[in-house]
Every structure is written in structure tokens, then in C-alpha cells.
Amino acid sequence: MKLINIEIKAKSDNNDKIRSILKEKNADFKGVDHQIDIYFKVPEGRLKLRQGNIENSLIFYRRENSAQPKESDVSLYRAKEIKDLKEVLENSLGVLVTVDKQREIYFIDNVKFHLDKVNDLGEFVEIEAIGNREEERETLLKQCNFYLHLFGIKDNDLVSVSYSDMLLSIK
């Protein structure tokens, strides 16, 4: 499945406030997912196997490192059986880094929100405006910026890199 994704990631010390805003907006709470993301060594982009109790997927994406809302080119495969797939990927590509997090997942229409607690990194908020057509790009960017301002996220809290990059930089 190919998607257009405009997203931001930010350090957060106000996830309680953001959670309250999401509840006021009647966001659809999907639950708390303990996710283990295994990133594999690939020549370009990022390839991760997500293992959770809500989401289990193989995800390949390319994204420029930018603190501002940015577009990701995402290919997603929803996996039911992870164990054999994990073994094949580990043996063929090798593991780059593993990200362990607790993630609260919310939706408002096509916009997905994550309130994350990432081991060794701290707390974050992610906003992902998701579409499947090129012509939706501007609308997705507007949605992402709307919630960025609604949540009171400051420019200096925006993060330009993935959790995997952050972990690699401290190890």
C-alpha cells in the first residue's frame, strides 16, 4: 500500500494537554501499543519491522530530515505473522537499531496522532496527515500545521530525525 504522509515529530512535555485537546475534539482512541521497531541496514531510506499489540507492519520509507512538516514516501505491508519475517530480515540485512516505545494512538479523520514514550529518549508527539493521492499534498500540509499550532508545539521542540537516528547518535 502506497501512501502520502505529511508529518511532524516533536519533543513534548505537555502530552497531558495534547491528550485533553484530542479528547475535546472527539478523537478516536485506538489504544496504547507497546511497539518494538527493528530498523534494518538498507542502502537508502529506512526499513523497519513494527511489532506491537495493535500495529504489526513492515514499513519502508524515504523522508528528508527536516524539523518542519515533511513528506514521507511510505510503502506499508500489514503483517499478521512477524516471527518468520523478522528472522528473514535479520539474517539477510542485519539489524541497525531497535526502538522500544509505548505509543498512544488517536485518529481524527485521516490525521493520526501518537503520544510516545521512547526508551532512552523521552516523550514525543507525532502528527501524521495521511492521504493516497498526490493532489492531497497541500490539504495534508494544512492539516498538519493546524494541529501543530493547536497543540502549541514550538519550533525548538520539532525534531528533524527519526527515533532510530536519535538512538544511533547516543550509542
Which 3 state secondary structure label does DSSP give 45?
coil
Task: Supply the pLDDT for residue 151.
Answer: 97
pTM: 0.90
Instruction: Pick the closest to residue 61 from 71, 158, 53 (CA basis).
Output: 71
Give the count of alpha carbons within 13 A of 134, CB side only.
Answer: 0
CATH number of the domain that residue 96 is part of: 2.40.320.10
Q: Which amino acid is at 86?
A: K
pLDDT tens digits along 29-81:
999 999 999 999 999 999 999 999 999 999 998 888 887 887 887 888 998 88
Does 18 have pLDDT greater than 80? yes
Instruction: Pick the closest to residue 153 from 129, 127, 122, 119 (CA basis).
Output: 127
What is the domain count for the chain? 1
Which residues is 112 bridged to in the sheet? 107, 128
CB 6 within 8 A of CB 141: yes
CB pairs under 8 A, 24+ apart, for 140-148?
140/4, 140/5, 140/6, 140/110, 141/6, 141/69, 143/6, 143/110, 143/111, 144/6, 144/7, 144/8, 144/69, 144/111, 145/69, 147/111, 147/113, 148/8, 148/69
Tell me the residue range of the domain where 34 lies: 2-170
pLDDT tens digits along 87-118:
999 999 999 999 999 999 999 999 999 999 99
Q: How confident is the model at residue 82 (pLDDT cuts 50, 70, 90)?
A: confident
Task: Supply the pLDDT for residue 27.
Answer: 98
